[in-house]
Structures are given as structure tokens and as C-alpha cells.
Chain A
């Protein structure tokens, strides 16, 4: 037990550095995923038929294959086409593109819940289709999506842990290095797990706080059903 606690002193600096990279990966992936996910959701709900179908295919493919494979295609595969990224950029992209598929589904769900009635209401006062989407539907849909969407940052934080497999220097990579110097794989990875848990719980608390702050009284998924 004492040896184990000693790991935090011995590798604390490395773990912190790795955790910083992990949080960075999460943040960048989340932002890319949100922007792309929003576009995908809009395409899926309001685009022309072919665009709806393309967005649907994107979502199905990225949700239907392992992130690890997507990461390897981007990092090892694309250079053959002359598109090469650094490890970190490849990781940002893979996480972002993958997260977009999931975020698109959260947003689509809430856009559908707001429904065509709000669209009619917007159109009836003379707003154009995209004005209605921008001023009426999205403001409601984004707030409505928040409770289910708030799973995504935590889920993404956890999925970042695989990018050490293309040698991104995140928390897991620091753990692996520490494990190979001490040969105590179980102990080191347990320590790494503790650091991940702390980050997950902190992020969870933050999201719950934000959820309470932005809540509109009387408006949530339950009352809409």
C-alpha cells in the first residue's frame, strides 16, 4: 500500500502532465465534435434528401466501427494519400469526427422533440426556414439536449485513453512508461485509474452545476413528451 501511494509522489509530475494532455484531447475533440455534430444534425433534420442520407451514413459508419480503427486509418492510412498528421492532430481529428456522430444524435433527438409545431409557428410570423431554425428551434433544442448531451464530455474523456496506442503522450502513455520502469503493471494502472476517476468526477460535478444554471423552469424532456 505504501509503495503504491509512493507512485503518486514518484510519478506525480508525469501523471499531471499526461492528465493535462488528456484534458486537452477531450476539449478539442468535444469542440470539433460539437460543430460537426450540429451540422450533421441540421443536415439530417432539415437538409435535402441526399444530404439527410449522407449525414445518416456518416453517423452509422462512425458509430458502427471502433474508434481505434478510425484512429489508425487517420494516422497510419491517410499518409498514403499524402495527408499526414502529427500524432496529436490525428488524435484530435479521430476523437472529433467520432464524437460528432454521437453528438449529432443527441441534437437530432432534441430537435425532433421541439418538432414541426415550432417550425410552423415560426413560419407563420414570416420567418424563413433557416431563420426559424436559428431563432426558434435551435435555442430550445440546445437547452433541451443538455441533460443527455452532458454524458458526452465524460464519455469522450474516457475514450481519449486509447490514443496512447499511436504514442500520444497522454495520461495512459505516462502510465505505460511508469509501468515499464517499475514492472508493477497492476499497481501503476490502478494509480492511473484513480487519476482518471478524479477527472471524471470533477467533470461530472461541473456539468451538473452547468445544467442547474441553464435550466429553464418547466422545460425538460419529460414535460415535453
Chain B
């Protein structure tokens, strides 16, 4: 067996790695954005609760939190390892994404909100039409970083039995007894995924950037 065969065998796990990422990342973004809005605009009690959520969830190693959520979800509902793992990873990511969105919301100055209210927009309209569009742009660079982390952390679901890249590398490594080649192939695929994602988001950032004269 040569390198090409290794790559194609392991590469077929890419679908699942990408799948896990495409579930976890948006799930984390959705939860993170809602929590960040509550944190910034929800009043004191909500802010304190969100701060606790953030501190605790970001203080626990991702793999530990992933296991807790995975086993809790699996006990409650009958989900495949793929779905349970992906959604759990999304929750793990949500605390980090909440901080990203919160940071972006806070760096759009409060004056923008005031100017929107002065025109007659309601609070919700002002957040929706004035603050969020600007915050989204500010959030892209740190979010790109988080996307890379989620792709890399998706390798953790290997431990839950999902046949993604790392799992398939382990399988072919065991059957051929050529672990080095197997894991190096996996590394190459992960690297391409991370690199392509980062580049893509970089392009998006440029495309969305607001024109200005220096």
C-alpha cells in the first residue's frame, strides 16, 4: 500500500470530520450569539449567569466537557455517536464563541446604539440593523481562529467511536502496521482543512470589509 491509498482511505473520513465541524461550529455560534446578546443587553442577572457559564465551561478541558455532554445526551435521547458528539462539541465551543461575539458587540461603541435610537429605531431594531452588522465584521478574525480550533477538536470524537479522519488513520495503521504513514496522512488532511478554512474566512473578511480612505 502506498501513500496515495493511505490518503484516500483516511480521506474518506474527511466527510465525517467536516460533518462534525459543520454541525458543531454553527451550533456553537447560535448558542454563543444568543448568550452573548443576553450577556451584553440582558441586564445584571443575565450578565452574571452568562459570566458563570463562560468561566466554568472555558475552565474545563474540552475533552472532559465533551465526555460529560456526550454521556449525558446519550443517556437522555437516542442519538447516534456522530450527532451526540457533534452537538456536544458545539456546546463546548459555545462558551468560546460567546466571548468572541460579546467582545465584538462591546467594541461597536454604545454611541452607535444611541444614534440608532435617536433616529427612532427600537432597541431591538438598533441591535439588529446597526450593532450586529458591524459586530459580525469585527468577529470574523477571532471566529476564524475558533473555526480552526473546532476542526482540530473534532478529532476528539474519535474517542467516541465516530469513524472520522483520526479513527480511520488508526484503523489502517493497525491493519498495515504502518502507523507513521497513517498518522502523517491524517495530519496532512487536517492541515489542509484548517488552512483552507482560514483562507476562506480571510477572503470573507476582505469581502465584507467596509471601504474607507486611509
Number of interface residues of B (CB under 8 A): 37
Number of interface residues of A (CB under 8 A): 36
B77 within 8 A of A: no
B67–A185 contact, CB under 8 A?
yes
B59–A201 contact, CB under 8 A?
yes
Taking the closest CB of chain B, its distance from the CB of A102, in whole angstroms, is 12
B166–A68 contact, CB under 8 A?
yes
A200–B59 contact, CB under 8 A?
yes
Taking the closest CB of chain A, its distance from the CB of B91, in whole angstroms, is 13
B191–A158 contact, CB under 8 A?
no
Fill in one digit per residue for B134-175: 1 if any A CB lies within 8 Å of its CB, else 0: 000000000000001000110110110000001001100100
Fill in one digit per residue for A138-175: 1 if any B CB lies within 8 Å of its CB, else 0: 00000000000000000001111110010000001001
B71–A69 contact, CB under 8 A?
no
Taking the closest CB of chain B, its distance from the CB of A222, in whole angstroms, is 15
B211 within 8 A of A: no
The answer, among B64, B68, B183, for a CB contact under 8 Å with A77, is B183
CA distance A225 to B164 in the complex (A): 44
Asked if A186 meets B68 with Cβ closer than 8 Å, knowing A68-B155, A76-B183, A165-B159, the reply is: yes
Asked if A193 meets B64 with Cβ closer than 8 Å, knowing A66-B155, A165-B159, the reply is: yes
B155–A193 contact, CB under 8 A?
no
The answer, among A73, A165, A185, for a CB contact under 8 Å with B184, is A73
| Chain B hits for A77, CB < 8 A | 179-184
| Chain A hits for B156, CB < 8 A | 68, 162
A111 within 8 A of B: no
Taking the closest CB of chain A, its distance from the CB of B29, in whole angstroms, is 21
CA distance A172 to B144 in the complex (A): 29
B64–A161 contact, CB under 8 A?
yes
B191–A196 contact, CB under 8 A?
no
| Chain A hits for B191, CB < 8 A | 61, 64-65
4 nearest A-B residue pairs (beta carbon): A77-B180, A161-B61, A185-B71, A76-B179
List chain A positions with a Cβ less than 8 A from chain B. Answer: 61, 63-70, 72-73, 76-81, 157-162, 165, 172, 175, 185-186, 189-190, 192-193, 196-197, 200-201
Residue contacts A-B, CB under 8 angstroms, 22 given: A64-B191, A64-B194, A65-B187, A65-B191, A66-B153, A66-B190, A69-B155, A70-B187, A72-B169, A72-B170, A73-B180, A73-B184, A76-B180, A77-B184, A157-B61, A158-B61, A172-B61, A190-B68, A193-B65, A193-B68, A196-B60, A197-B56
